């Protein structure tokens, strides 16, 4: 009987310790500041868009390539959105991100979603890059053709302005002694203005 009480007390103590550790891990994640950093490697139908700022910057060969893609109704937009996570120096716990669900939205409509499965650690006082690969067929979501579609692609790639509102929504998941815990409130970055909401 006494041994059973001792085991129950030990179990309760371990549960409390794990709960405190989980609370510290979750608090560490809450203290990590996420912000939109940049968009890199934008490509439209295989054409690199990093140097393109307007339709006039395209070569004749690139215009022809994009024209063929539009005619085939297959105009893939590919890019990488970089999110920076920074753990404040005042936080003594390393926050370990084990996954991140994300959505790429245009005019509040989800055009593509994914999940980052590579773990990322945020040491106190350090920043870490979290790259998210985004890709979808522009023709599936926009009625524009030719020059207008290029202008939309430039806006979505962060290379120009547009009437379209572009946003990234993330929901990080942190590792804890009790298992993975998902960030309770998603974070939305307005990529149109480079400011988070």
Alpha-carbon span 49 to 43, nearest angstrom: 5
pLDDT at 7: 44
Alpha-carbon distance of 77 to 111, in angstroms, equals 11
Is this structure's pTM higher than 0.85? no
Confidence of residue 61 (pLDDT cuts 50, 70, 90): very high
- Residue 16 reports pLDDT greater than 60: no
Least confident of 35-39, 127-131, 180-184: 180-184
How, if at all, do strands 47-48 and 33-44 pair?
A: antiparallel
How far is residue 72's CA from residue 69's CA, in Å, rounded to a whole number?
5
Over 70: is that where the pLDDT of 70 sits? yes
Q: How many domains does the chain have?
A: 1
Query: Of 40-44, 145-149, 183-187, where does the model show the most confidence?
Result: 40-44
Look up residue 169 and give its two tokens: 């929504």
Q: What is the mean pLDDT of the chain?
A: 80
Beta-bridged to residue 114, according to DSSP, are 102
Boundaries of domain holding 80: 2-196
Q: What is the mean pLDDT of residues 130-155?
A: 85
Say what the pLDDT of residue 75 is.
93
Strand-pairing partners, residue 34, are 85
Residues 101-139 pLDDT 10s: 999 988 888 989 999 878 898 888 888 999 999 999 998
- CA-nearest of 46, 81, 66 to 189 is 81
> Mean pLDDT over residues 147-170, rounded?
82
Question: C-alpha 176: how far from its chain's center?
Answer: 21
Report the C-alpha gap between 184 and 192 in whole angstroms: 25
> Which alpha helices (DSSP H) does 32-139 contain, by range?
60-71
3-state secondary structure of 53: coil
Angle, in degrees to the nearest 10, between helices 60-71 and 146-156: 100
Band of the pLDDT at 162, cuts 50, 70, 90? low
Q: Which two tokens stand for residue 140?
A: 């599936």
Note the pLDDT of residue 21: 54
User: Does residue 161 surpass a pLDDT of 70?
Assistant: no
Q: What percent of the chain has pLDDT over 70?
A: 79
Contacts of 17 (CB under 8 A, 6+ apart): none
DSSP SS3 for 171: strand
């Amino acid at each position: 009987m006494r041994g059973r009480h001792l085991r129950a007390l030990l179990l309760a103590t371990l549960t409390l310790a794990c709960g405190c550790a989980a609370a510290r891990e979750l608090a560490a994640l809450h203290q990590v500041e996420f912000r939109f950093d940049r968009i890199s490697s934008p490509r439209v139908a295989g054409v690199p868009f990093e140097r393109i700022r307007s339709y006039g910057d395209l070569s004749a060969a690139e215009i022809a390539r994009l024209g063929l893609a539009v005619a085939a109704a297959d105009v893939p937009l590919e890019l990488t959105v970089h999110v920076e996570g920074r753990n404040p120096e005042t936080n003594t716990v390393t926050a370990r991100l084990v996954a991140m669900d994300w959505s790429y939205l245009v005019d509040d409509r989800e055009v593509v979603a994914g999940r980052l499965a590579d773990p990322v650690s945020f040491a106190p006082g350090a920043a870490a890059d979290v790259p998210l690969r985004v890709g979808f067929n522009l023709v599936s979501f926009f009625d524009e053709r030719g020059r207008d579609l290029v202008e939309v692609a430039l806006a979505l790639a962060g290379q120009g302005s547009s009437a379209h509102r572009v946003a990234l929504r993330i929901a990080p998941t942190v590792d804890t002694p009790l298992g993975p815990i998902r960030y309770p409130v998603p974070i939305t970055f307005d990529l149109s203005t480079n400011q988070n909401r």
